[in-house]
Structure 1
Amino acid sequence: MIAFPHAGGSATYFFPMAEALRRAARPLELDILSVQYPGRQERRLEPCVDDLQTLADLAVKELLPFTDRPLVLFGHSMGAMVAFEVARQFEQQHGITPLTFFASGRGAPATARQDNLHRLPDRAIIDELGLLDGTSSVLLSDPEVLKMVMPALRADYKAVETYTYRPAPPLRCPVHVVIGDSDPRVTAESAQAWGQHTEGGHRLSVFKGGHFYLKDQQDALVATIVDHLTTLPVQRTAHG
């Protein structure tokens, strides 16, 4: 499983979920990798990337060596969009069909909003994070912390907000959409619209919580992921 973080997020965000998944999915021999975008943690000295398609291109290049085995994608919020573009490249350019794609906390690509938070002062981005409950407002009140994380946040928001969906053949892999029932940025309609982007079938799971429902609903989410993976035909591989 390859996990793609949200805007402003880092690979370590998925560590708790990865440990829970490894324990719950032992019979499946599931390995979990998490993508680290440039400009944060051990990559903090690298320039941030503010274009979503470029992020996907870079991710594909790094992930191709792992496509010799059955592959599952999991992306949360912005990460769902990056994962979607990665899946399209795998299928259309490399003939690689993931076993399945979990799109978390994000409406379908064709429903992407054209916002402009990345053009506004830092305070507007901090207020948005408070609304989504993704980052502690106390943490972001520290000027030194803010100085450190704001470049990556602003770049990620620009990548999401300037993303333009390009029509293309639907994915061949199934899409499992997972959202919180009180997410202020994802409606049931936009979540259901993921069905337009796959011919492999799709389902929607709704958990109690907001945009970052997966913090409080980790056990339920892990159980849903494992249940879904155990229903997939074992003969399918990353190369279909």
Structure 2
Amino acid sequence: MRSFRSFRTFVPRPQAPRQLVCFPHAGGAASAFRGWAELLGPSTAVVAVQYPGRQDRFGDPPPADIAALAGQIAVEIAPLLTRPTAFFGHSMGATVAYEVARRLQPRFPSRLARLYVSACDAPPARRPRTTVIADEEIRAYVRSLGGSGAALLADDELWQLSLPALRNDFRMIETYRYRTAAPLTCPVTAIAGDADDSVSPDDVRRWQELTIGPFEAVVQPGGHFYFDESAEGLAALFREDSRWSRADRIVEV
């Protein structure tokens, strides 16, 4: 059986008719999606991306930038796209998921059934920073977002262990530069928490500019990590998306 370094599957479902590939936020890891397979039910296989530099990839060198990270993932993920597949990316993960999707589309135009982007403004709205973000600024920002990641702040040893990956992720976010490319053809759903002070529903609506496929903006109750508060609402969105459920099965080429 082939080993895929970048992906973790906590509940294998090789016969499930569709799959969801999840891209974590800055500082996040594949384990953030550990319980999602049970939430979505037996018809969906959940695959979580494990970025370098954290958990069981702690010793792997961090990527130089989001483009390099997306390029690595795109090469490795292509053989997995043998059934209707949706990408879900949260915060930084939304940008990574989009960059992976745009790399796959020219070669495999029918392999991505839908892109879900969560709590992230659209790439054309991003402006790179010229100053380096300080560690305490990162810590303050993580605290302001809340969610399970804020628990890192209570344990200095855990915080120091997590800081290198966070520092590199924030550097990649702050230096990311959107480059104009052909629009996606797959449907895009952009999701925002109604109490998220960092990304508003209006911010996520700009993702419509990046696809010629159907687009919808969805507002969920909660803050930046709205699914920590009520994962069922997001799971219901995935389960009820009939366009993804009825996608034709993809044949490996």
After superposition, the Cα gap between the structure-2 partners of 1:33 and 1:233, relative to the gap in structure 1 and judged at 3 Å, is closer
Looking at structure 1, the residues matched to 150 and 245 of structure 2 have their Cα atoms a distance apart, in angstroms, of 44
Partner of 2:104: 90
Q: Deviations over 1:35-72 (max 9, x none)?
A: 00000000001112241011101111211110122111
Structure 2 counterparts to residues 200-215 of structure 1, below 5 A: 200-215=213-228
Q: 2:189 aligns with which of 176, 200, 205?
A: 176
Looking at structure 2, the residues matched to 43 and 53 of structure 1 have their Cα atoms a distance apart, in angstroms, of 19
Aligned length: 233
After superposition, the Cα gap between the structure-2 partners of 1:199 and 1:110, relative to the gap in structure 1 and judged at 3 Å, is same
Q: 1:148 aligns with which of 149, 161, 167?
A: 161
Looking at structure 1, the residues matched to 148 and 247 of structure 2 have their Cα atoms a distance apart, in angstroms, of 41
How far off is 1:238 after superposition?
Answer: 4.8
Which sits farther off after the overlay, 124-133 or 93-102? 93-102
Look up the equivalent residue of 1:112 and give its one-letter code. Answer: R
Looking at structure 2, the residues matched to 162 and 81 of structure 1 have their Cα atoms a distance apart, in angstroms, of 12
Relative to the length of structure 2, the TM-score reads 0.85
After superposition, the Cα gap between the structure-2 partners of 1:232 and 1:147, relative to the gap in structure 1 and judged at 3 Å, is closer
Q: 2:233 aligns with which of 220, 223, 227?
A: 220
Q: Which has the higher contact order (CA 8 A, sep 6+)?
A: 1
How far off is 1:137 after superposition?
Answer: 4.7
After superposition, the Cα gap between the structure-2 partners of 1:232 and 1:17, relative to the gap in structure 1 and judged at 3 Å, is closer
C-alpha RMSD over aligned residues: 2.0
Partner of 1:18: 37
Poorly superposed stretches of 4+, deviation over 4 Å: 135-138
After superposition, the Cα gap between the structure-2 partners of 1:109 and 1:140, relative to the gap in structure 1 and judged at 3 Å, is same
Relative to the length of structure 1, the TM-score reads 0.90
Structure 2 counterparts to residues 59-138 of structure 1, below 5 A: 59-115=73-129, 119-135=132-148, 137=150
How far off is 1:209 after superposition?
Answer: 1.0
Gaps of 5+ in 2: 1-19
Looking at structure 2, the residues matched to 136 and 235 of structure 1 have their Cα atoms a distance apart, in angstroms, of 35
Look up the equivalent residue of 1:30 and give its one-letter code. Answer: T
The structure that is strand-richer by fraction is: 2
Structure 2 counterparts to residues 25-36 of structure 1, below 5 A: 26=42, 29-36=43-50
Gaps of 5+ in 1: none
Contact kept, 8 Å, 2:70 with 2:96, in 1: the verdict is yes
Looking at structure 1, the residues matched to 211 and 127 of structure 2 have their Cα atoms a distance apart, in angstroms, of 20
Look up the equivalent residue of 1:7 and give its one-letter code. Answer: A
Contact kept, 8 Å, 2:86 with 2:115, in 1: the verdict is yes
Q: Deviations over 1:122-151 (max 9, x none)?
A: 211110001111445553243321221000
